């Protein structure tokens, strides 16, 4: 049985961590960049996502450090997380390709981009 599709914030958090280990605030900033400003994660939402991803074995804590008397935890993608992100990216690409093909056939998409 196939796994359920990832929610967009979860997909974007995994995408951010695919490049390099990051601490929470850096993940929030990178998700904002990756999504062209569409997805603004609040800290509470981010940490709930990170906790769930850790519990599922998709990410792990790489290291912790104290910065200005506060604990900063760095997260990294696991091999399982990379595999899950790859599968989800493939699923999304397949669906987007199918939509483009149908839009082109119907004449609603002619320039390969916007309908």
Q: What is the CATH number of the domain that holds 37?
A: 1.10.10.10
**Position with higher pLDDT, 54 vs 105:** 54
Model pLDDT, residue 1:
55
Q: What is the pTM of this model?
A: 0.87
Listed range (15-24, 37-46, 106-115) with the worst mean pLDDT: 106-115
- When divided into structural domains, the chain yields a total of 1
Q: Would you say residue 114 lies in a domain?
A: no
Looking at the chain, the number of H-run helices and the number of E-run strands are: 4, 3
| Radius of gyration over every alpha carbon of the chain, rounded to an integer in angstroms | 17
pLDDT band (50, 70, 90) for residue 97: very high
Q: Would you say residue 113 lies in a domain?
A: no
Q: Would you say residue 110 lies in a domain?
A: no
Q: Which domain holds residue 53?
A: 6-103
Q: Would you say residue 26 lies in a domain?
A: yes
CB-count burial class (<10 Å; 0-12, 13-18, 19+) for 55: exposed
Model pLDDT, residue 115:
46
């Amino acid at each position: 049985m196939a796994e359920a599709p990832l929610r967009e914030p979860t997909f974007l958090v995994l995408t951010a961590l695919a490049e390099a280990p990051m601490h929470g605030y850096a993940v929030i900033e990178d998700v904002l960049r990756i999504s062209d400003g569409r997805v603004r994660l609040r800290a509470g939402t981010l940490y709930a996502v990170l906790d769930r991803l850790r519990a599922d074995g998709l990410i792990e804590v790489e290291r912790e450090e104290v910065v200005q008397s506060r604990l900063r935890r760095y997260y990294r993608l696991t091999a399982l997380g990379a595999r899950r992100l790859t599968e989800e990216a493939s699923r999304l690409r397949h669906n987007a390709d199918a939509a483009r093909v149908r839009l082109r056939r119907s004449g609603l998409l002619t320039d390969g981009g916007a309908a």
